[in-house]
Amino acid sequence: MTISRRRFVGTSFGASLLAWMPSLWPAFAAGAASGRKLRILFLGGTGFLGPHTVRAALECGHELTLFNRGKTAPDMFADLEHLRGDRDGDLGALAGKRWDAVIDTSGYVPRIVTDSASLLADAVGQYVFISTISVYASSAEPGMDESAPLATLADKTVEEITGETYGPLKALSEQAAERAMPGRVTVIRPGLIVGPGDETDRFTYWPVRVARGGEVLAPGKPDTPVQFIDVRDLGAWIVHCLEARVLGRYNALSPAGEHSMGELLETCRDASGNEARFTWVPADFLAAQGIAPWSDMPMWLPPAGDYAGSGLMSAAKAVAAGLRFRPLESTAADTLAWWRNERGGEAELRAGIDAKREQAVLAAWHAHEKAGDSAK
């Protein structure tokens, strides 16, 4: 089975705890208020989101078990209980054990999610499935919430994960978990997960590129909305969803319209302390130059057509259920510090336009502007 993630998919915000507490299951609300220790099983736990969520759970005093193949960072969290096995056909280590809840950060295929959720149905009280906003059929409508139509597959037996199947398979995996544990599932649909430890560089490109200074190619317009979520905020909220027995489906990303490309770049410049200069180049010119949204210009999608709703998806339900956001300044500065400390500061970025091509596009844009001035 080949797995490759889909290419596209801050400040405190939201209602107070009292606004949503009455909707919680009374027993678990009381348990959270009294600081009850939970026994939590992680399916995965050693990738990017997993470790941050594990640390958040440990900080809250919970007892953790990690189930994985032991291939990614096998020495991570050596003091915790580790169960070895494989999501695809080797779940024996889970049999006969009990936990209060399970966090599934590694489910991509409905058959495999069905197997684990069915096995654990009588062993846990709550199943948290980490999905994605890529489950939606379209991002053309601003203000979309959790009720928006989901992407589908003509052939539901497909298991190869590609840019086209990733979202629909996640949607089917959500449904598989809910069938196995009706009324006990929390589906979390994150947007772009960013912050220290993100090896994809989809957010990291910007603080690193801006820190290198000079003239920076900036896509489209400064007011183009962008959405994302700091991995540390997401991890903390996942644990909160267990402590407070938050159930249902939730988009987990920064509030619609909260951030823009211009704010992002300015914040990255503040974090680096340099004098980078931003040249904003229109979307149609970038397209003519063969510059692809999201891959060449990470986080950016021109807000029109199929992308009209990008950056404007509703996160209101998650915010009402306790999701909170650190300042963008913290995310940008901490990501840059992580890059410098852990990646050496000079490693090749895995996302974004390379330096030579960036300069070529900037030169072409300036020539275009000059030709336009001459024609006046």
CA–CA distance, 347 with 313 (Å, rounded to integer): 33
**58-79: burial string, b at 16+ Cβ within 10 Å, e else:** bebebebbbbbeeeeeeebbee
pLDDT tens sequence across 88-131 = 999 999 999 999 999 999 999 999 999 999 999 999 999 999 99
Average pLDDT for 134-160? 96
Average pLDDT for 276-287? 98
What share of the chain has pLDDT > 70, as a percent? 90
Average pLDDT for 133-155? 96
pLDDT tens sequence across 351-371 = 999 999 999 999 999 999 999
Q: What is the CATH number of domain 17-375?
A: 3.40.50.720
pLDDT tens sequence across 232-254 = 999 999 999 999 999 999 999 99
pLDDT tens sequence across 303-341 = 999 999 999 999 999 999 999 999 999 999 999 999 999
Q: Give the confidence band of 2 by pLDDT, cuts at 50, 70, 90.
A: very low
Q: Give the confidence band of 17 by pLDDT, cuts at 50, 70, 90.
A: very low
Lowest mean pLDDT of 252-256, 347-351, 370-374, name the range: 370-374
Structure tokens at 52: 């941050």
Would you state the pLDDT for residue 329?
Answer: 97
Would you state the pLDDT for residue 29?
Answer: 36
Residue 33 pLDDT greater than 80, yes or no? no
Residue 6 pLDDT greater than 70, yes or no? no
Would you state the pLDDT for residue 376?
Answer: 60
pTM assigned to the model: 0.89
Residue 271 pLDDT greater than 80, yes or no? yes
Would you state the pLDDT for residue 375?
Answer: 65
Average pLDDT for 45-62? 95
Rounded to the nearest integer, the mean pLDDT of the chain is 90
Q: Give the confidence band of 146 by pLDDT, cuts at 50, 70, 90.
A: very high
